A and B are shown apart, each in its own frame.
Chain A
Amino acid sequence: MGIQFEKVNYLYARGTSQEKAALIDIDLAIDLHGFIAIIGHTGSGKSTLIQHMNAILQPTSGVVRILDKTIVGGKKNRDINIVRKRVGLVFQFPEYQLFEETVEKDIMFGPLNFGVSKEDAALKAREALKWVGLEQDFLSRSPLNLSGGQMRRVAIAGILAMEPDVLVLDEPTAGLDPQGQKEMMEMFYNLYVNQHKTIILVTHDMNFVAQYAKRIIVLNDGRIVYDGDTWDLFANYELIKKYHLDLPDITKLIIDIENKLGIKLDHKINTVENLAQALVQALGGANHAR
């Protein structure tokens, strides 16, 4: 179970002069309950890839298995709507999808579309609002009179209320300030730990990737060029250079120190405390003379 891609290809603008392969021979297996990051440059195919995960896009060739549903490329697949309930996809700037008069109604939109009764949908809306860390008195407010960060939380609650097993997030922290970004990431991590959701995160922010994701998938020109442990990737300088990838701030700092001082440090060091200790050791112990 989970999500599997088998030899998936996707052609963009098929049959026109602008035809372009957005995904090439993607093989991928994602098991339930994980925290996975997908990274790559703008135009590398990240968005196309995640839109296959809830069948918003269907492959030109190959097979995508989403939970118990199989989607075969180049064929007409029926009754795919139901997978969207189980794989919740949160687009970039999701606050733009809000349209109802009240927060409650907006959150209920998803559940109602999947045939949940009004009473149950209202219950789910309450629940979802809790998960995104908003007070219950938001329910009766207009979603359009909230701050940017609150609107985004409401939009995410709209997806959570469908009770998906998998939550796919496209740049969920874009445009927020540092505090808001941190809170947002904490929220997803909580959903991963406490609600046992599978989180698939598309982001440019390597600090968050380093902090939360155990597994990382790197896309480059429509192909998967790395799929494995996050810190193994960050420690692999050749790969980072080859695909012009960004590094977490701490790794950049480590490399800078290494180059200037001519010492060797462990590239997998992931906290400031550990880095300080490693430096003390490399520089011959703490300085008691002063």
Chain B
Amino acid sequence: MVPIVEISELYFSYDNKNLAINNLNLTIYEKEWVCILGHNGSGKSTLAKLLIGLLEPLKGAIKVNGKILSQDTVYDIRRETGIVFQNPDNQFVGSTVADDIAFGMENQQISREEMKERIDKYIRKVRMEAYLQHEPHLLSGGQKQRVAIAGALAMNTKILIFDEATSMLDPQGREDINTLIQELKNDGDKTIISITHDINEAMLADRVIVMKDGTVMTAGSPAEILKDEALMNDCGLDVPLTVKLSQELKKYNIIDDIYVKQEDLVNSLWEYNLKK
């Protein structure tokens, strides 16, 4: 596993009094899907902003793709990282869908022919090809987020960050985006960092990192982390329903493990039913 993001002893404060990021250490590896989980105010969105150099840390180092983040390298690092923010409206720069996807590429001075090619490719990827000339106020929140994803993909970055990209969407929009993230993961050429408080999203990731009070509480596979009720409650989160049901069924000796994924729980019940 090759590390792509390495953060060591990171500190940050908005007001020079309270630390929003407090001695944070974290390594993210190439092509993994990492989910950063935490309640509002745990510092997870601040971390995203620090990662792409929108905020400057008090102390500590961030290394992205081998480069240490500094005034000189920040523009190079932004070329390696695409980000999709929370509010669909506030990141739509272009006057039409095509213009918006092009915005990042225009900044990188990519030729018009190349831009057209990439727009054509990625608009299909996010299934928005019917809306190429649409203006933003005619799109739903989910559609705008899909455009934002296409815009990030078009920049051919190694890392893709989703900063609570689904939290303002309706269930349909949320599902669309989560499906898309899964597809991107399956394509296998991006490092995906999704920041969320949605445990259903965390369940799908390769690794879950739990944040609290500006630091990493723990990290591990979703199966390990999400079934730890004490930890989850401590971080203002809830365990999945599957975990609660597993605990109950365990009392009756019907299953003997705690399952996080619904599929696994149902399969285990199915096996029990066959054996009986």
Which residues from chain A contact B172 at a C-beta distance below 8 Å?
41-42
- Cβ contact within 8 Å between B140 and A177: no
Smallest CB gap from B142: residue in A: A42
Cβ of A31 within 8 Å of any chain B Cβ, yes or no, is no
A148 CA / B197 CA spacing, docked (Å):
15
A175 CA / B242 CA spacing, docked (Å):
24
Which residues from chain B contact A283 at a C-beta distance below 8 Å?
254, 269, 272-273, 276
Min distance, Cβ B44 to any Cβ of chain A, angstroms: 10
- Cβ contact within 8 Å between A260 and B248: no
- Cβ contact within 8 Å between B273 and A261: yes
Within 8 A of B (CB), among A261-290: 261, 263, 272-273, 275-276, 279-280, 283-284, 286-290
Min distance, Cβ B31 to any Cβ of chain A, angstroms: 29
Which stretch, B19-27, B102-110, B146-154, B163-171, touches the partner chain A?
A: B163-171
Query: Which of these, B236, B244, B273, contacts A177 with CB under 8 Å?
Result: B236
Within 8 A of A (CB), among B41-58: 41
Query: Which of these, B41, B238, B242, B266, contacts A260 with CB under 8 Å?
Result: B266
A147 CA / B252 CA spacing, docked (Å):
44
A261 CA / B274 CA spacing, docked (Å):
9
- Cβ contact within 8 Å between B262 and A279: no
A272 CA / B262 CA spacing, docked (Å):
14
Which residues from chain B contact A174 at a C-beta distance below 8 Å?
168
Min distance, Cβ A37 to any Cβ of chain B, angstroms: 15
- Cβ contact within 8 Å between A149 and B40: yes
Cβ of B217 within 8 Å of any chain A Cβ, yes or no, is no
- Cβ contact within 8 Å between B254 and A280: yes
Query: Which of these, B170, B241, B248, B252, contacts A253 with CB under 8 Å?
Result: B241
- Cβ contact within 8 Å between B262 and A253: yes
Which residues from chain A contact B267 at a C-beta distance below 8 Å?
260
- Cβ contact within 8 Å between B252 and A276: yes
Cβ of B90 within 8 Å of any chain A Cβ, yes or no, is no
Smallest CB gap from A287: residue in B: B253
Which residues from chain A contact B251 at a C-beta distance below 8 Å?
276
- Cβ contact within 8 Å between B168 and A272: no
Cβ of B39 within 8 Å of any chain A Cβ, yes or no, is yes
Contact with B along A99-131 (1 / 0, CB 8 A): 000000000000000000000000000000000
A245 CA / B266 CA spacing, docked (Å):
23
Contact with A along B135-150 (1 / 0, CB 8 A): 0000010000000000
Min distance, Cβ A273 to any Cβ of chain B, angstroms: 6
Cβ of B249 within 8 Å of any chain A Cβ, yes or no, is yes
Contact with A along B177-199 (1 / 0, CB 8 A): 00000000000000000000101
- Cβ contact within 8 Å between A256 and B237: no
Within 8 A of A (CB), among B210-251: 236-238, 241-242, 244-245, 248-249, 251
- Cβ contact within 8 Å between B248 and A273: yes
A149 CA / B40 CA spacing, docked (Å):
9
A37 CA / B248 CA spacing, docked (Å):
30
Which residues from chain B contact A175 at a C-beta distance below 8 Å?
167-168
Query: Which of these, A178, A263, A272, A289, contacts B236 with CB under 8 Å?
Result: A178
Which residues from chain B contact A272 at a C-beta distance below 8 Å?
241, 244-245, 248
Which residues from chain A contact B168 at a C-beta distance below 8 Å?
174-175
A182 CA / B238 CA spacing, docked (Å):
10
Which residues from chain B contact A260 at a C-beta distance below 8 Å?
266-267, 269-270
Min distance, Cβ B12 to any Cβ of chain A, angstroms: 18
Within 8 A of B (CB), among A222-264: 246, 249-250, 252-253, 256-257, 260-261, 263
List 5 additional A-B contacts (Cβ < 8 Å) besides A41-B172, A276-B251: A256-B262, A276-B248, A276-B252, A279-B249, A283-B272
A-B contact pairs, 30 of them (CB 8 A): A41-B170, A42-B172, A147-B40, A176-B40, A178-B236, A179-B39, A179-B237, A180-B40, A182-B238, A246-B171, A250-B241, A253-B242, A253-B262, A256-B262, A256-B266, A257-B269, A260-B266, A261-B269, A272-B248, A275-B245, A275-B248, A276-B249, A279-B269, A283-B272, A283-B276, A284-B276, A287-B252, A287-B272, A288-B253, A289-B253
Of all A-B residue pairs in the complex, the 7 with the closest CB atoms, nearest first, are: A276-B248, A179-B236, A287-B253, A286-B252, A177-B39, A177-B197, A177-B40
